[in-house]
Amino acid sequence: MSRRQVLATGSIVALSGCLGGGSNSSTDGNVNEDVANAPLSNSPDSLTYATMGSSDGPTITYYGNWKCPYCAEFSTGTLGDFVTDYVENGNVNIQFRALAYINGEPFLGADSPRAARAGLAVWNVNPETYWRYHEHVFANQPPEGETWATAEKLLSFAESAGVGDLDRVREQLDEGMYESEVQNTTDAAASAGVSGTPTLVIDGETVNPLSDESRARTLIEGLTDAS
């Protein structure tokens, strides 16, 4: 798959981003410990979507897809730098929302919605281990073109990441929980002008943190200066 991302106008530009298609590449790397050990709020159970950060500062939304290789590249790389530079010091929080549908169709495969629901199940069942699960999945992401996000594979990832109460995670997956939350993410992404992954939404502005890290940092620092 070539590096591309469709903009709101419908034109295609060469960017480090995912939009449909297939890929034979896979990720086999190490967990980014800065992300895996990211701080949480004192009451993570009150947050519907996985959020790192323990401050009252502004929240940046990271739209990603569990099957997107560029999200894997960002999550296991630059995201860790953002954690150490902006989250650990309390300047901002970062919330991950899995974009499983675009234009009413599953994004990057029919199994993407299941992967999105699994992430929400892990967050809601055992938030203390969520970010390690997040990193473990992306660090060991199978090829995008494969329909790999089965319940068994996702539960295997959760077990390897040390997620507790796997029976509840399995039960929630089997019951189809969090489909409305996944659909709400689709709507929120469309409203924000998100058309590919990875995308950060920072104070209403969208930016691809792989292709334009410097702009992402400028937006974050402007946000923290204003808060």
CATH number of residue 62's parent domain:
3.40.30.10
Q: Name all contacts of 2-5 with Cβ < 8 Å and 24+ positions apart.
A: 3/70, 4/196, 5/195, 5/196, 5/208
**Is pLDDT above 50 for 190?**
yes
State the pLDDT at residue 8.
31
* Range list of H helices, 46-178: 69-75, 78-82, 112-125, 130-139, 151-160, 166-174
Q: Name all contacts of 102-107 with Cβ < 8 Å and 24+ positions apart.
A: 102/19, 102/20, 102/186, 102/195, 107/18, 107/19, 107/20, 107/65, 107/197
Mean pLDDT (whole number) for 34-60: 94
State the pLDDT at residue 17.
78
State the pLDDT at residue 224.
80
The CA distance from 174 to 152, in Å, is 11
Mean pLDDT (whole number) for 94-103: 97
Mean pLDDT (whole number) for 166-178: 97
Residue 53 has phi, psi (to 5 degrees) of: 120, 145
pLDDT tens string 108-119: 999 999 999 999
Query: Domain range spanning residue 115?
Result: 5-226
Beta-strand relationship, 93-98 and 51-52: antiparallel
Q: Taking a C-beta distance cutoff of 8 angstroms, is the pair 92, 58 a contact?
A: yes
The CA distance from 139 to 46, in Å, is 28
Looking at the structure of the chain, the number of domains it has is: 1
State the pLDDT at residue 144.
87
**Is pLDDT above 60 for 98?**
yes
Q: How confident is the model at residue 55 (pLDDT cuts 50, 70, 90)?
A: confident
Confidence (pTM): 0.89
Average pLDDT, the chain: 89
Mean pLDDT (whole number) for 39-61: 94
